[in-house]
Amino acid sequence: MKRRDLFRMGGLAALGAAAAACGSGGGTAGAGATRLQFMYWGSTFEKTAVEKMLRSFAEKNPGVEVKPLFTPDEYDVKLNSLIAGGNVPDLGYVPMSMSYRLAEQGKLVNLFPYLKKYPQLAGYLPDAYLWYGPDQLHGVATANEIELLWYSKAAIAEAGIAAPPAVAASAWSWDQLVENAYKLTVDQNGRHPDESGFDPKQVRQFGISVSITYAAAWYGFLRSNGADFADEAGKRCLLDTPEAIQVFQNLQDLIHKHRVAPGPGQLAATGDDVPGTNILLKTKRVAMVVDGHWALLDMNESKVDYGIGVLPKYSEPFTTSQVAGASSVFAGGKHVEEAVELFAFHIDPRYVDLYRQGLWMPQERKYYEDQAAIDSWTKNDGHPPEFRTAVVDYAREHGVPDLRNRVKNLSAISSDVLTPALQEIESGKRPAAEILKAVTPKITGMLQGWQHTQEV
């Protein structure tokens, strides 16, 4: 072959590749088969479980193929890019920060008309539904996750204190939490923070870790102290009320006054990535951690000697519930009916392992009320004895839905003003009152009300 011919062929090949790249739109189905794409995020364990669920759906529905689109990182960026390119999946997880916008743009299927066809979807906990207007339902929170007080049994035994209560009625007061956290905090020389010579820069075991920048971690405390994020109309921010200030001052004091909790970066492994609660408890880096129910799966997988307690309370005990992303069906696909069928299937504890394994809590009310139904997901090795009171009863009686499902425009509020202010509280440079009084009017300026809610 002459060199010139070689060049020509190279040119042709390049053009061919370009043409092929332009021509291939995603989501084209094989001959005859209905092909659905399911997009989701999660841990490696979740990936395996979701794939299994999708396979069993395909087995029950001959002629339907489901392609899993596992997207562990940068989910919002990738989903935004797919939408901009007009190449959306059929259904899947949608971050709450995007789901309401997509629903209003008509990119998500209104599931309200389908509630009659799928009665199991109609029996959900009221807070699970994600409404974007009257009779307009763009999805449900994938699972009903709540915040809990996880602890290392070994650390509790070493300190010789009673374990955090697993029943909401006997939850610790904030002062009791602080008192116990002192006993659980130990520096490299074995000293506690209330002993002289304690070295706060060389702490071997922190008493407690609770995030200040993650709203789900503190929203239960806020409500328990009689405060809220915004007023009834959802137009005025209430973070400058004395009750709210007290909650955040207490959180700041854990780090800077009592020195029983890690400050910014102290637990970090890479950037903002703090090691999982399972690792923190197993290594006894921290004795008690406020984290979501989903930690249970990793806790079991890595064989941690853990216990579950309810969060400390101010007056009435509360915990943040529905801490999850949305599950939704995308509009405009060729197979919307089949996609809704899979939607109803993917969050049904009868078919999905993730409930028994401890990653998800069901959304159907009967799984919190009916004994046989409760046993169907909690009576197994993955769920400790205190699970019934510390999680099932706690979620049913004391859950308040996460702000992300409820406050309009929260995504912009968080990234533009709220998170920076919370980081400042965390840094301990100024008291919480000063910071909250400065940021509250800014948040009020961005508030657009609460999301719509209604009975089914």
Strands 64-70 and 34-40: parallel
Min dist. Cβ of residue 252 to another protein (A): 14
Q: Which helix (H) or strand (E) holds 223?
A: helix 215-224
**Closer CB to another protein, 53 or 289, in the complex:** 289
Distance of CA 191 to the CA centre of its chain: 36
Min dist. Cβ of residue 245 to another protein (A): 18
Burial class (CB in 10 A: 0-12, 13-18, 19+), 79: buried
**Closer CB to another protein, 107 or 406, in the complex:** 107
Distances (CA, A) of 344 to 109, 116, 121, 329, 350: 13, 12, 7, 10, 11
Strands 91-94 and 64-70: unpaired
| By the rule CB under 8 A, 444 interacts with another protein | no
**Closer CB to another protein, 14 or 157, in the complex:** 14
Could you say which of 34, 43, 80, 444 contacts another protein (CB under 8 A)?
80
Could you say which of 263, 275, 382, 449 contacts another protein (CB under 8 A)?
263
**Closer CB to another protein, 110 or 120, in the complex:** 110
Distance between CA 79 and CA 66 in Å, rounded?
A: 18
| By the rule CB under 8 A, 232 interacts with another protein | no
Q: List the beta bridge partners of residue 137.
A: 131
DSSP 270-315: BTTBPPPHHHHHHTTSEEEEEEETTHHHHHHHTT--EEEEPPPBSS
**Closer CB to another protein, 402 or 426, in the complex:** 426
Q: What letter would DSSP give residue 128?
A: G
**Closer CB to another protein, 7 or 370, in the complex:** 7
| By the rule CB under 8 A, 201 interacts with another protein | yes
Distance between CA 91 and CA 210 in Å, rounded?
A: 34
Min dist. Cβ of residue 180 to another protein (A): 23
| By the rule CB under 8 A, 332 interacts with another protein | no
Distance between CA 438 and CA 421 in Å, rounded?
A: 9
- Span 109-168, contacts to another protein by CB under 8 A: none
Could you say which of 102, 168, 181, 432 contacts another protein (CB under 8 A)?
102
Could you say which of 6, 9, 11, 26 contacts another protein (CB under 8 A)?
11
Binding-residue pattern over the window 414 to 433 for another protein, x denoting contact by CB under 8 A: -xx--xxx-xx-xx-x----
| By the rule CB under 8 A, 97 interacts with another protein | yes
| By the rule CB under 8 A, 59 interacts with another protein | no
**All residues at 6 or more sequence positions from 238 whose CB lies less than 8 Å from its CB, including other chains:** 227, 228, 229, 230, 231, 244, 440
Task: Determine the Cα angle at 344 with ends 130 and 371, to 5°.
Answer: 90
**Closer CB to another protein, 69 or 83, in the complex:** 83
Give contact residues for another protein (rule: CB under 8 A).
7, 11, 14, 76-77, 80-81, 83-84, 97-98, 101-102, 105, 107, 201, 263-266, 268, 270-272, 411-412, 415-416, 419-421, 423-424, 426-427, 429
